[in-house]
Amino acid sequence: MTTYPPHEHATTQTTESWVINAQGVRLYSVSRGNGLPLLFCNGLGVAAESFWPAICRPLGAYVRTINWDYQGHGRSESPHPDTAMTLGVCVDDLMRVMDHYSLAQAVLVGHSMGVQIGLECLRRYPDRVQGFIPMLGTFQRPFDTFMRFRYASDIFERVSSWIFEHPEMTAEVWPKLFQTWIADPFARVAGIVNRRYFPASEIEMYLGHLRKMSPLVFFSLARSLQEHSADDLLESIAIPTLIFAGEKDLFTPPEVSQEMHARIPNAELQWVQDGSHAAMVEHPDLFWLRMLHFLQKHFADQVHSPAQVHASQSSASQANASSSSTTQPNAASGKS
């Protein structure tokens, strides 16, 4: 049995940087570790600083993880007024992120909307994707299967149309919809997140981010997702693929992930018992360990071994101890 170092003490190089896209908009990104590059694509309304760190910190000891914010999300700048946010815009920005880090290829990890971004990247830039890890997301028209409610897509179309017709009223009401005292208990009772496992700190971070977001950016992207389909692409995917399905995912019912698994040749499926649409936040150790196993299986020569990580951590600990021992006498002499 392979023994992995305790990730609480992992020491990995972390670098924050700005990526300038084709329109001159600054996109925030953060890189951890080195080796095989994993590029993470967020769900709609999610920032790089939330949902992912509990997975990326331990993984950063074995591979390189890169998180980034879409335009109008997190620390990235807002899109220009004449830019309609679409799936295609996000794919173009993803290529800019890869170019910024001089990556010829990367393993794409997508959550929710990030799954569709990954699939569209596979369609447009197949040579730049060496592996694919879709999490809790669909391959087409998410509101067609949303909560298994047959009228969800019709309601979404009416609501989004009203929002674009009444932007000022929407801007006033939008932040009030995501007050923690309302949204947190509702999300837990409704089963949007797992009431037992989802951390309160994470939901406050997420809701705080949504309160600051432009509803027009949010719904522009949501409309683009609803118009998108990669139904014609699934059988042609030939790269290593690991799919995560949440048993209690209301946004992307697990049968959608099971269909992707059945149609993508040689794809692997990881079932997450009791997992909601945010299962990777609820069970981060399951996700990062399963991902690491998948990466070691398919890209062994680019993934650091447990022995290498052990050695790296031991060296870092010794260096820290040596540094402490050399500074203590100075501190003592300073006191005298």
Distance CA 96, CA 39 (A): 12
Q: 265 falls in which pLDDT band (50, 70, 90)?
A: very high
Domains and CATH numbers, the chain: 7-309 (3.40.50.1820)
Task: Give tens-digit pLDDT for 54-72.
Answer: 999 999 999 999 999 999 9
Share of residues in the chain with pLDDT > 90 (%): 74
The DSSP result for 238-280, as a single string, is: -S-BEEEEETT-SSS-HHHHHHHHHHSTT-EEEEETT--TTHH
> What element of type H or E holds 319?
helix 306-335
- The encoded tokens of residue 285 equal 């150790």
Q: 221 falls in which pLDDT band (50, 70, 90)?
A: very high
Task: Give tens-digit pLDDT for 229-253.
Answer: 999 999 999 999 999 999 999 999 9
What is the model's pLDDT at position 204? Answer: 85
Q: At residue 187, does pLDDT exceed 80?
A: no
Q: Calculate Rg over the CA atoms of the chain.
A: 21
Cβ neighbors of 78 (< 8 A, separation 6 or more) are 25, 71, 72, 214, 217
Q: Rounded to 10 degrees, what is the CA torsion of 209, 214, 217, 222?
A: 60
Higher-pLDDT residue of 2 and 95 is 95
Phi-psi region of 45 (alpha: psi -120 to 50; beta: other; left: phi over 0): left
Task: Give tens-digit pLDDT for 3-56.
Answer: 566 555 455 789 999 999 999 999 999 999 999 999 999 999 999 998 999 999
Q: 319 falls in which pLDDT band (50, 70, 90)?
A: low
Q: At residue 325, does pLDDT exceed 60?
A: no
Distance CA 237, CA 130 (A): 11
Answer whether 116's CB lies under 8 Å from 228's CB: yes
| Mean pLDDT computed over every residue of the chain | 90
